[in-house]
Structure formats: structure tokens, C-alpha cells
Amino acid sequence: MKRRTVLQTSLAVVASLALAACGGGDGNDNAGAGPVDLTIALSSAPNSLDPAQSAVGPFLSYVEPAYATLLTRKADGTLGAGLAEKWGYVGKGNTKFELRLRKGVKFADGTPVTATAVVDSIKYFVKGSGPGGAWFRPLTFSTPDSSTVVISSPTPNPDMGALFTPAFLGGAIISPEGLKNPKKLASATFGAGPYVYSAQQSVSGDHYVYVPNKNFHDQDAIHFKKITVRVMPNVNSQVQALKSGQIDLMYGTPDVAPTVKGDKSITTLKKPTTWAGLFLLDRAGTVVKGLADVRVRQALNFAVDRSAITKAVYGDYGTPVSQPAMPGYDGYSSAAADMYPYDPAKAKKLLKEAGYGKGLTIPVNYGSFDPSTTKMVQAVQDQLAKVGVTLKLRAATNFGGWINDLLSKKYAATVLSPGQGGDANFYAQQPGFTKTGIMNIFGVADPDVDAAYARLAKSTPQSSGEAAKDLTDVITQNALALPVSGTDTIIMFNSKLRGVQFPEGGAQLNSNTVWTTR
């Protein structure tokens, strides 16, 4: 069975359906006449240009141009070369992985990319606040020579190579000069990518400009005179900018995607990639005592009419789901799909048995910068109110605000929209289902989940499918989340752009550095 890969994300993918864009694209009218400009639009500014602090998902657009990663993802979903030209596991057991660097590769400042520089960069990344750091913390590194990095994991990890692709950013190597003064990384770039950030041409919070890196190892791979990422919070304004040619690409929403149908100058891609719903983080009952009772968590799942919400919020761009896995990805379980039919009477019964017949209140934070998220969580709020559960909502207008609210530990649940698609090996940890998961801010342990995850981590390619489904069944039965809708990631772009695609089996759009106008 072929393993499928994850999006990202985690915290990173929070805004994936929300981000839309604007930009100044003169460029694609000149296709075939040499390098042109590329303008991407997103609905939120980056919290930082530092790979160790950055979100992923669409926010990779701010990092990808300047920071080449050790490995990449090919169109067929397999790993591809990046700063490393050879890679693979050493021995058996999925615990040791080796990377061999390309010869002669330099950072933008002209210094060589060495094995020591790679390890120093990853060790810095681990200390950051970005969503991928948790994946690297258990790992140890050695450098047998200046071009070889050996990564060791204390437990089996069948997807270690994926950690060094753009979706996780640990493989986006920062130069020694950048590591000397990490504060500079927030507003300048120190990578080995095809472009460098131009502070002179940029305005923080409005637009971010990247120009060619004269020291990039493959000058033929630089396709644009400059890449501009524009910030435009209003998705309808983004669509108008796309139609008028001011921007080249944006992330669509179910509301605006239908408005460009029939327009031959605009191409729309959509892919079922992720799930949206509530992450029930406080499963130990620190903020809301009732959430420590599995009956309460199961009651929430029975109380929601997923079909009605999905149709109202996502229309043709979503499907009802009651498990934290998407159809077509490892881990999707037909048994889990049938666990929580809409049954408000059963929800009330479970709440009463748990001692909450008169109801309870759950504080929830979410990002209002995603209109679909807002509609979804408000619909869930209305339906839960019918069984006596009150969601006290806290809206953040940008990604940084959502992160700050989350880390305050004042909220027993959060909405990460979209949630998680991809390989079960990743989705189990990223949202916080295992104790070491990056979203498990309360550090809650579930022995059943940990045991099921351990079986998956040790599985062979032949047994991984069933192990992934078993893990999904445990997570769903124990009601660690309240999934509502499986959602499509929607990309809308100038039809003259070439190479814009989702790698097979993945939910993360390919890098903007590989797109062309030819």
C-alpha cells in the first residue's frame, strides 16, 4: 500500500480555506517573453518570516521563495531532491535516516551549505514556536562528513523523509549568518532558495517582495523577475483582483469559487484534503470538568447534524465527516463513519448520565479571518445549544491572535480550519491526539490512542492501512474531537500559470517556486 502524505500542518493549515489574495501582476501577459512577475494573494500577513516561527499551509508562500528545503515532493507524491540529492533509511526498523547534500550548494550570502549548518539550523528550528518543531524534538543528529547528515529517532518513524519537505519547514535550512542574530529572521531571509526577500520593495502587513538569488545553485529554475505576496483580507476583493489581472493566484472559498465558473482566464483546482470541526483539547477537564468524561464528548458528536451544516457552509466543496480522517487517505474508517449519527435525544441522555443534564459551557477560540470557519462554528453553536451545551466563542481576526488565544489555555476547545488530512501517522500527532502532539497544549494522555499509534509506527507497508484505521476508530470512539465537515482546498489562478498542482496523495499545494508561465 502506498503511503499518503499530510498537508501540514497542523497549526499551519489553519487558514488554508481562508486565505485569499490580491496582488500586482503585470506578468502573465508576457508569457514566452522571458521571466515575468508572479503575484499571490493571501488574507493574512505572516506572523514571521522565520521558518522556526512561521505557520505552514498557505503561509508557506512567505517562506518558500527564500528557503530551499532538504527534500521536496514530486507530482506523483514521492520524495524529490532539494538541497539533498540522496536520502533513505539506514538498516531496518525505520529509526535511522540519512541525507546526502548536493555539492557546491550555497546560501544566498555565498557561504556553503554544509552538514554542520544543516544540523545547527534544525536544532534552532526545534526551539521555535512553529507547528513543525514537535516532530523534530525526539530526533538526534550526526555528521559523518561535511556532506552527510544522519538522523536517528528513538521510536520507529515510517515517514521521516517527509519532515524535510516544505510542509514541515524543518528542512528549510537557515544560514549560520542568520542564526547569529535570530531576531533578524523575522523580517529578513537567510536561506538557500531561488529568491531573497527585498525589504526595500516590501511593506510589512501589506505586500512582501522576493527577488532572484544570484547564488542559487540552479539559475534556470528561477522563473520570475519577482514574486510578490499581497495581503488582502476581503475574499471578494481578491476575486475582483484576480479577474482584472492584478493578482495571479488566490485561495478560494465555497462562497466565491462559483463566481468564476465559465471564466476561461481563471482556472480552479479543488481537492478534498482536510476536515473542519472542534478540537476538544481539554480532555483532562482543566477548564471544563465535563470534557474529561467521554460521555460528554460523545454527546457533542451525537448532537451535531453534519449533513445540514456541511451543505449550508461548504455546499459542493465539502462532505459530512464524523472522524478525523478524509476519504481516500490512510486512516479513513467505514466503522468510524457510522459511529455518530445525528441523534440529539441520545446526546441529552449521555449528558444527563454524566451529570450535566442542565448543560455546560465550553469556551472555544477560532479564527474569524476564515469566513467558512465562522459559519461552521456558529452553526455548531446553534445545534449544541439545543441539547443544553453553550459554546462561548472567542474570535481572532488574524492567525497570530488565534495562536495567542490558544496558548493562553483559557479555551477548552478550538477550531482549526481546516483540520487534518493525510497520513494517519501525522494526523494522530499534529492535532494533539497523542500526548506529544503539537496541539495537545494541556498534555492529555490517552493510553488507548498511544497504544494504537505505537502499532501504526511499527507497521509495515502491508499492515499500515489496517493499523491506521484502528487508530482512527480509537480516536473516534473516545471522541477526542468533534469533526463536522470534510472540506476542499480551493485554488483559483490565472490560466496562463503552469505547474500549479497538488502532489498525488497530498493536501499541500506544490511550491510557488516551480510554477511557470510557459
- List the one residue out of 259, 117, 214, 220 whose CA is nearest residue 513: 220
Higher pLDDT, 436 or 207: 207
Contact (CB, 8 A) for 381 and 300: no
Residue 344 has a pLDDT of 98
Three-state DSSP at 233 gives: coil
292-334 tens-digit pLDDT: 999 999 999 999 999 999 999 998 888 999 998 887 777 889 9
Asked whether residue 3 is assigned to any structural domain, the reply reads no
Q: To the nearest whole percent, how much of the chain has pLDDT over 90?
A: 64
Neighbours of 387 (CB within 10 A): 21
Which pLDDT belongs to residue 147?
Answer: 97
Residue 20: pLDDT over 70: no
51 within a domain of the structure (yes/no): no
Please report how the helices 306-314 and 371-385 are oriented relative to each other, as an axis angle in degrees rounded to 10: 150
Q: Is the pLDDT of residue 257 over 70?
A: yes
* pLDDT score for 431: 58
What is the structure's pLDDT at 148? Answer: 98
CA distance 280 to 473: 16
For residue 468, the model assigns a pLDDT of 85
- The verdict on residue 41 lying in a domain is no
pLDDT at residue 476 above 50?
yes
Choice between 390 and 133, residue whose per-residue pLDDT is larger: 390
The whole-angstrom separation of Cα 222 and Cα 108 is 14
Whether 34 maps to a domain, the answer reads no
Could you give the angle at which helices 464-477 and 447-457 cross, rounded to 10 degrees? 170
Within a domain: 12: no
380 falls within a domain: yes
Q: Which CATH number fits the domain that encloses residue 429? A: 3.10.105.10
Nearest to 233 by CA among 20, 43, 398, 17: 43
- Residue 322: domain span: 272-488
- The candidate with the shortest Cα–Cα distance to 468, out of 425, 504, 420, 516, is 425
pLDDT score of 268 more than 80: yes
The H or E element that residue 337 is part of is helix 334-337
Domain total for the chain?
1
The residue-averaged pLDDT of 26-38 equals 55
Q: Is residue 32 part of a domain?
A: no
Calculate mean pLDDT across residues 27-51: 76
Cis peptide leading into residue 258 (ω within 30°): no
Task: Report the C-alpha gap between 41 and 246 in whole angstroms.
Answer: 10
Answer yes or no: is pLDDT of 106 > 70: yes
Share the mean pLDDT of the chain.
87
Q: Please report the pLDDT score of residue 258 as a whole number.
A: 92
> Model confidence at 8, in pLDDT bands (50, 70, 90)?
very low
Assess if residue 408 is contained within a domain: yes
